[in-house]
A and B are shown apart, each in its own frame.
Chain A
Amino acid sequence: MRKILLGAVGLLGFLVVWQLIPALGLVDPDYLPYPTDVFGRLAQEVRDLAFWRRVRLTMTSWAIGLTVATLAAVALGTVVGMVPFLRRATHTTVEFLRPVPSVALIPLAVLMFGLQMRAALVIIVYAAFWQVFVQVIYGVADVDSVARDTARSFGLTRAERLRYLILPTALPYLMTGLRLGAAVALILHVTAEMVIGNPGLGRMIELSRSAGDAVGLYGLVVVTGMLGLLVNVVFRFVERRSLAWHQSVLADEAAR
Chain B
Amino acid sequence: MTAVGATKARPRDLGVRVAENLLFAVGLPVLAVGLWAVWSTRSTSRFLVGPGTLLDAFRQTWIGPAFVEDVLPSVYRLLIGLFASILLGVAAGVVIGRLRPLREMLEPLLEFFRAIPPPVLIPVAMLLLGITDTMKVVVITSGAIWPILLNTIEGVRSTDSVMLETARSFRISRWDRLWLLILPAASPRIMTGVRQALSVALILMVISEMFASSAGLGYRIAYFQRNYLIAEMWSGILLLGLIGVFLAVAFGVVERRVLRWYHGMKEITRA
Contacts and interface: CB of A to CB of B under 8 A. Distances in A.
A6 B101 contact: yes
Interface stretch (A65-73, A92-100, A169-177): A92-100
Given A96-B29, A107-B225, A228 B206 contact: no
Nearest to B228: A111
B206 A104 contact: yes
B230 A111 contact: yes
Nearest to B248: A99
B15 interface: no
B116 A103 contact: no
A225 B116 contact: yes
Contact of B123 (A110, A206, A229): A206
Contacts of B24: 88-89, 91-92
Contact of A101 (B25, B114, B206, B233): B206
B19 to A, nearest CB: 14
Interface stretch (B5-13, B179-187, B239-247): B239-247
B224 A107 contact: yes
A187 B47 CA distance: 26
A89 B222 CA distance: 34
Contacts of B27: 89
Contacts of B199: 99, 101
B119 A27 contact: no
Given A90-B28, A92-B28, A186-B117, A195 B126 contact: no
A248 B24 CA distance: 35
Interface stretch (A7-15, A136-144, A157-165): A7-15
B123 A187 contact: no
Interface stretch (B59-67, B104-112, B254-262): B104-112
Nearest to B202: A101
B123 A209 contact: yes
Given A14-B109, A105-B237, A209 B28 contact: no
Contacts of B230: 111
A37 B105 CA distance: 25
Interface string A178-211: 0000010011001100110000001001101100
Contacts of B149: none
Given A13-B105, A100-B245, A93 B29 contact: yes
B162 interface: no
Contacts of A224: 116-117, 120
A186 B203 CA distance: 14
Contact of A102 (B28, B32, B203, B211): B203
Contacts, number: 160
Given A101-B244, A224-B117, A2 B123 contact: no
B91 to A, nearest CB: 19
Nearest to A10: B105
Interface stretch (A39-47, A146-154, A213-221, A239-247): A213-221
Given A110-B225, A221-B124, A101 B240 contact: yes
Contact of A27 (B104, B128, B211, B248): B128
A104 B240 contact: yes
B245 A96 contact: yes
Contact of B28 (A93, A183, A187): A93
Contact of B119 (A97, A107, A194): A194
A92 B25 contact: yes
5 contacts: A6-B104, A10-B106, A95-B245, A195-B210, A209-B126
Interface of A: 2-3, 6-11, 13-14, 27, 31-32, 88-93, 95-108, 110-112, 183, 186-187, 190-191, 194-195, 202, 205-206, 208-209, 214, 217-218, 220-221, 224-229, 231-232
Interface of B: 24-29, 32, 47, 101, 104-109, 111-124, 126-128, 199, 202-203, 206-207, 210-211, 218, 221-222, 224-225, 228, 230, 233-234, 236-237, 240-241, 244-245, 247-248
